């Protein structure tokens, strides 16, 4: 059974506008928004594995203020300038609760065979995870994220002649991003006695034993008494005067069963860490734009544009250790032409573009310092985290237009040829088909296509409207969207290729000319195209199925 998804949002905006005799306008906008999200989802099987626990619990709040001055239009120069500030607090918690069947579900073959062999083992198997509740490290159990952004901005449009204009802009932003986090056990569940001694410096109060269940030499009297309680609870061994004697009386098989139950529990608890502060991201980031345009005729304009922008870095944790993400920096260039043809019945726009991106933010492969230290076996462990790809380039051609030269009909079209590639990406995760065991820790995807970026995409649409029955209007429309194939996974696995697809939507309806009332039948995915939205070797996001809707609209 799955509990309902609980969400809620509140917001308020206050806008103050003051117009001056000079034609200038002062605008002040104050805004508040909060958002609550709580997903308590079952894992979707008929078994009691994940007890309505999947997903994040989020409480998000933001407060923003903008102050902007705008000049009157006309003359050599028009401009706007201002200040902007936003403060964000986000309390995010990843919750995970296990049920009575979780131990059997997560046990490996050896663990399951040993524990399912007798009544005591089956009780250990069930209790290993039953009712355990953890603020789970994904990437942290609970995060207190605090972001503050303050910016000064200005944009000026220079009209040197009726034909030549130049747009210039500058924005300087001060970013301060902080994150305090921890991962911890919220409820020890049915078997706190199966906890380890500690995880990552977080004391759990358990007793020390090895992979075969033999007691460690460092156990104190309290830990040995806890071991005796395990012997009594699961195997009926009577506690003695000497701490640890009851546990020591267990057979090798019984000790192995305890070790297996503890291993199942430890593996699911994962990384715990005490409350700590990640390395903050604090930086001043500029954004610039320079774009001259020239009007060749009343119906034809050409333009060139250069823009520099920066996406703020991230303060985050990886297995309890701070891992700061660098800012993403983009320089974009565009050359475009806008024109109206055929007595302005055809509006046609086209441009070529190039974007060079440094420190592109996405999942990358990095050394997992925590797991490497934990294993302490001379082998380096790796993990995938949000990080930076050194260089990405995106270039291509875009075209869009509208044709209204047919009576009662409007034709729309838009398309893009997009070459998006990793120019330098030496530390990508290996694709699944390469095999993780024995494969090189990194794959070099320099020169390979960017994930999630089809090379060719376009839309063709038509709208037909015709007055009928006096004040009524019949209307119908269709849209065809095409996308070429692309990788849906950052590891560029062959299992993640989404093939080319065609998606057709159709609508037909009748309404009043004054828009007072309208009723339409809308069909999404008319031909029920089943191309998945995303897929990997072990997951699949199916296409949205064909849907029929009856839509009513009106106004008073």
Which one, of 384, 366, 388, lies nearest residue 493 by Cα? Answer: 384
Domain map (residue ranges) of the chain: 283-450, 453-556
Query: Between the CA of residue 392 and those of 357, 455, 457, 517, what are the distances in Å?
Result: 5, 15, 20, 49
Question: Any idea what the Cα angle at residue 31 is, between residues 29 and 35, rounded to 5°?
Answer: 160
Instruction: Give pLDDT, residue 52.
Output: 66
- Long-range CB contacts (within 8 A, 24+) of 413-418: 413/458, 413/459, 413/460, 413/461, 414/458, 414/459, 415/456, 415/457, 415/458, 415/459, 416/456, 416/457, 416/458, 417/455, 417/456, 418/394, 418/453, 418/454, 418/455, 418/456, 418/457
Instruction: Give pLDDT, residue 2.
Output: 60
Instruction: Give pLDDT, residue 120.
Output: 96
Instruction: Give pLDDT, residue 56.
Output: 78
Integer Cα distance of 340 and 414 in angstroms: 16
Instruction: Give pLDDT, residue 163.
Output: 96
Instruction: Give pLDDT, residue 436.
Output: 57
pLDDT tens string, the chain, 556 residues long: the values are: 566 778 899 999 999 999 999 999 999 999 999 999 887 777 778 888 987 666 778 999 999 999 999 999 988 999 999 999 999 999 999 888 999 999 999 999 999 999 999 999 999 999 999 999 999 888 889 999 999 999 999 999 999 999 999 999 999 999 999 999 999 999 999 999 999 999 988 999 999 999 999 998 889 999 999 999 999 999 999 877 889 999 999 999 999 999 999 999 999 998 999 999 999 999 999 999 999 999 999 999 999 999 999 999 999 998 888 999 999 999 999 999 999 999 999 999 999 999 999 999 999 988 888 888 777 777 888 888 899 999 999 999 999 999 999 999 999 999 999 999 999 999 898 888 887 555 678 889 999 999 999 999 999 999 999 999 989 999 999 999 999 999 999 889 999 999 999 999 999 999 999 888 999 999 999 999 999 999 998 888 899 999 999 999 988 7
| C-alpha dihedral (265, 270, 273, 275), degrees to nearest 10 | -100
Residues 6+ apart with CB under 8 A from 556: none
What would you report as the CA-atom Rg of the chain, rounded to the nearest whole angstrom?
31
Dihedral sign computed on CA atoms, order 406, 407, 409, 414: positive
Crossing angle for the helix pair 119-127 and 221-235, to the nearest 10 degrees: 120
Q: How far apart are the first and last CA of the chain?
A: 43
Contact of 182 with 275, CB cutoff 8 Å: yes
Contact of 265 with 153, CB cutoff 8 Å: no
Phi and psi angles of residue 65, each rounded to the nearest 5 degrees, phi first: -145, 130
Which one, of 203, 53, 70, 67, lies nearest residue 129 by Cα? Answer: 53
Which one, of 210, 221, 301, 222, lies nearest residue 259 by Cα? Answer: 210
DSSP character string of 442-474: -B--TTSBPTT--SEEEEEEEEEEEEETTTEEE
Contact of 239 with 221, CB cutoff 8 Å: no
Determine which helix (DSSP H) or strand (DSSP E) holds 210, and give its type and residue range.
none
Contact of 400 with 413, CB cutoff 8 Å: yes
Based on the number of CB atoms within 10 Å of its own CB, is 256 exposed (0-12), middle (13-18) or buried (19 or more)? buried
Based on the number of CB atoms within 10 Å of its own CB, is 393 exposed (0-12), middle (13-18) or buried (19 or more)? middle
Instruction: Give pLDDT, residue 439.
Output: 64
Phi and psi angles of residue 524, each rounded to the nearest 5 degrees, phi first: -95, 140
Determine which helix (DSSP H) or strand (DSSP E) holds 224, and give its type and residue range.
helix 221-235
């Amino acid at each position: 059974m799955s509990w309902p998804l609980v969400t809620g949002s509140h917001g308020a905006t206050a806008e103050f506008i003051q117009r001056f005799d000079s034609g200038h306008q002062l605008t002040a906008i104050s805004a508040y928004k909060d958002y609550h999200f709580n997903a308590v989802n079952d894992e979707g099987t008929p078994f009691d594995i994940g007890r309505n626990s999947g997903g994040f619990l989020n409480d998000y709040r933001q407060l923003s203020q903008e102050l902007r001055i705008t000049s009157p239009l006309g003359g050599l120069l028009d401009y706007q300038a201002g200040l902007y500030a936003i403060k964000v607090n986000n309390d995010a918690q990843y919750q995970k609760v296990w049920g009575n069947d979780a131990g059997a579900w997560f046990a490996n073959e050896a663990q399951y065979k040993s524990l399912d062999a007798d009544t005591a083992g089956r009780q250990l198997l069930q209790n290993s995870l039953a009712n355990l509740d953890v603020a789970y490290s994904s990437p942290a159990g609970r995060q207190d994220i605090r972001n503050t952004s303050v910016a000064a901005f200005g944009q000026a449009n220079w009209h040197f002649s009726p034909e030549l204009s130049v747009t210039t802009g500058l924005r300087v932003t001060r970013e301060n991003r902080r994150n305090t986090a921890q991962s911890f056990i919220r409820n020890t569940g049915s078997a706190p006695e199966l906890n380890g001694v500690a995880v990552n410096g977080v004391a759990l109060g358990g007793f020390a034993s090895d992979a075969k269940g033999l007691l460690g030499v460092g156990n104190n009297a309290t830990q040995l008494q806890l071991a005796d309680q395990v012997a009594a609870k699961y195997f009926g061994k009577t506690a003695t005067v000497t701490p640890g004697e009851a546990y020591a009386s267990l057979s090798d098989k019984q000790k192995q069963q305890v070790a297996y139950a503890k291993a199942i529990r430890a593996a699911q608890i994962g990384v715990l860490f005490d409350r700590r502060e990640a390395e903050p991201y604090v930086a001043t980031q500029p954004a610039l734009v320079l774009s001259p345009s020239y009007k060749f005729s009343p119906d034809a304009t050409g333009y060139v544009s250069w823009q520099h922008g920066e996406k703020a870095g991230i303060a985050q944790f990886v297995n309890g250790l701070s891992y700061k993400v660098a800012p993403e920096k983009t320089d974009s260039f565009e050359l475009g032409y806008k024109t109206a043809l055929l007595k302005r019945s055809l509006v046609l726009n086209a441009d070529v573009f190039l974007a060079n991106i440094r420190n592109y933010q996405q999942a990358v492969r990095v050394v997992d310092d925590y797991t490497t230290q934990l294993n302490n076996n001379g082998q380096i462990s790796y993990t995938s985290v949000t990080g930076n790809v050194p260089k990405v380039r995106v270039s291509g051609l875009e075209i869009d237009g509208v044709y209204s030269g047919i009576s009662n009909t409007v034709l729309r079209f838009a398309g893009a040829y997009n070459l998006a590639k990793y120019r330098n990406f030496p530390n990508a995760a290996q694709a699944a088909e390469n095999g993780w065991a024995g494969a090189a820790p990194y794959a070099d995807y320099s020169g390979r296509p960017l994930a999630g970026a089809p090379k060719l995409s376009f839309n063709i649409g038509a709208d037909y409207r015709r007055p009928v029955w006096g004040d009524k209007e019949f209307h119908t429309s269709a849209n065809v969207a095409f996308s070429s194939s692309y990788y849906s996974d950052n590891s560029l696995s062959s299992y993640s290729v989404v093939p080319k697809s065609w998606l057709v939507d159709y609508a037909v309806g009748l309404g009043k000319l004054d828009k007072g009332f309208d009723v339409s039948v809308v069909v999404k995915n008319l031909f029920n195209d089943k191309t998945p939205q995303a897929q990997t070797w072990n997951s699949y996001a199916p296409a949205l199925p064909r849907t029929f809707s009856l839509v009513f609209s009106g106004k008073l």
